Amino acid sequence: MIKTLSELKKSGWKSRSVKEEMRENLVKLLKNGEPLFTAIKGYDDTVIPQLQTAILSRHNFILLGLRGQAKTRIARLCVELLDEYMPVIEGSEINDDPYKPLSKFGKDILEEKGENTPIAWVHRSERFTEKLATPDVSVADLIGDADPIKAANMKLAYSDERVIHYGLIPRAHRGIFVINELPDLQARIQVSLFNILQEGDIQIRGFKVRLPLDIQFIFTANPEDYTNRGSIVTPLKDRIDSQILTHYPKTIELGKEITLQESEISDDQRNNITVSDLLLTMIEKIAFEARESDLVDKKSGVSARLTIAALENLYSTAERRMLMNGESNTSARITDIFGTIQAITGKIELVYEGELEGVNNVAGTLIGKALRSLFTTYFPDPMKLKKSKKPNPYISVVTWFNDGNMADLSGSATNKVYEKTLNSIQGLEKLIKDLKPDVKGNEKLLLMEFLLFGLVEYSQLSKHASGSGFKINDTLSGMLNAGSDEDSGGYYESAEG
């Protein structure tokens, strides 16, 4: 390991700016066809090319997008484009370049020790600094200020450069500095960034010192804040070289990939609980429905964290039932989807009409729309069957309920009770065999349950909340049960209820 300036020079190491360093490393990756930002999915043809262009152009850039669009993750992954290790003058607070130090400390050491100047090596993970923009951030936090305690301890005058306490930005010299939620930074603080972005230097209050810093700046912001609220001062906006727009997953399949990658599911849960692709698709569909809903604030967005938290809740809902029933394994059910409501309600911002409806009711509505939308990808559309002369395959099941029968789909039912309840519904098992002959076992039971909930959404049957699950019956009974005391503890209870 190189330990002195003399050894560093003999090694042939050359000094270069952080933007040039990132550019050269990106060029190598592109030439070799090596993957970049593999942890980010869905941006291969949109965000990633723009990001690469910005880096090749040596630009400071801003990632503009709604919440939960991986803006911070992208910023952090830019560290991969830095060299693994970087030499600095040992003991320097601001990563002084051994060939051209900026601080008084670095210059003094170089003058005193010359070729024997001690060298330390900084890993690229330590060359990343991130700051969340909050109203209480000060210029001193970002740039620096005189430190009276340091002046007193070292018995120095305030005019001495050695009493400077460097802020976050000088300490990020020769690295990447990220400011998240830039519009939340007060205008007077944003002004302090002008010189850094344009001239590449800072001036610390009270000192005749110029530090030509070498920093790759990355900013993130919500487009609603950035374009409409006007919280980024115009001169600062003008100094940010590239603007990159992020977005939500454009397909259900891509959304599932992201959710499965990001969710934290324990090995015990994965080994003991089976989650069908139908349920994975339904979770993603809930998010898609939320982003299109007139009850949800589209400007706020619906974070990808909704589906991640919902999948974790789905596993945990099934796990809780399994543990309480003393079973060693189970399969997630349609009723378990309603156990994800607590994940949905915390991730959506409602418009006025949605607030009147109540957040729990809105979450239930989104689940219902997702069910209805997916139903016709598995089974014939009940609405089209009404208009056609073809025989209705659902008639035997609907007739069974019309005869006064009821199915209690309890969320806490054991595997045996769950299977017995579904098999007791006349014509249901035969219907699944006819429509989905290749489906067996737990997947068949799930489709039987899914068909019942789908018929509810198409007003062929009705349901009302009962304890930890639902009771399915005919539409007339559903009308009579509407508003009963039994409903008050159900999943559709409003937030004010």
- What is the full DSSP assignment across 429-452? HHHHHHH-TT--HHHHHHHHHHHH
What is the H or E stretch that residue 146 is in?
strand 144-146
Interatomic CA distance for residues 327 and 415, integer angstroms: 8
**Res 136: pLDDT:** 86
pLDDT score, position 486: 41
Assigned token pair, 184 = 């939340």
For residue 314, the tally of other CB atoms under 10 A from its CB is 27
Query: Residues 93, 161: contact at Cβ < 8 Å?
Result: no
Q: Which element (helix H / strand E) includes 361?
A: helix 359-378
Q: 5-137+171-245 adopts what CATH topology? A: Rossmann fold (3.40.50)
Element (H, E) at 141: helix 139-142
Angle at 68 between CA 63 and CA 72, to 5 degrees: 45
List of residues 6+ apart from 245 with CB closer than 8 A: 46, 47, 50, 64, 65, 223
Please report the pLDDT score of residue 140 as a whole number.
Answer: 82
CA dist list (Å): 467 to 22, 76, 323, 489: 58, 45, 18, 7
Q: Which of 28, 131, 142 is nearest to 80 (CA)?
A: 28
In the chain, domain spans: 5-137+171-245, 252-489
Per-residue confidence (pLDDT) for residue 456, from 0 to 100: 95
- Measured between its terminal Cα atoms, the distance across the chain in Å is 67
Backbone angles phi, psi at 12, to 5 degrees: 90, 10
Q: Any idea how long the chain is?
A: 497
Cα separation, 53 vs 374, in Å, equals: 39
Residues 6+ apart with CB under 8 A from 83: 21, 25, 124
Q: What is the structure's pLDDT at 104?
A: 86
CATH for 252-489 is: 1.10.8.80
Nearest CA to 82 out of 140, 51, 123, 116 is that of 123
Give me 282's structure tokens: 């339904």
Per-residue pLDDT, 476: 79
Look at residue 478 in the predicted model and tell me its pLDDT: 58
pLDDT number for residue 388? 82
Contacts of 298-302 spanning 24+ positions with Cβ under 8 A: 299/224, 300/66, 300/67, 300/224, 300/349, 301/66, 301/67, 301/68, 301/69, 301/222, 301/248, 302/66, 302/68, 302/248, 302/347, 302/348
- Comparing 5-137+171-245 with 252-489, is the CATH topology the same? no
Show the tokens assigned to 482.
């509407």
Rounded to 5 degrees, what are φ and ψ at 469? -150, -145
Q: Please, which residues bridge with residue 85 across strands?
A: 123
| Residues of the chain where predicted confidence (pLDDT) is lower than 50 | 227-230, 484-497
Q: Given this model, what pLDDT does residue 462 score? A: 94
pLDDT at 208: 61
Helix axes 441-457, 415-423, angle to 10 degrees: 60
| Structure tokens that stand for 109 in this block | 């050491």
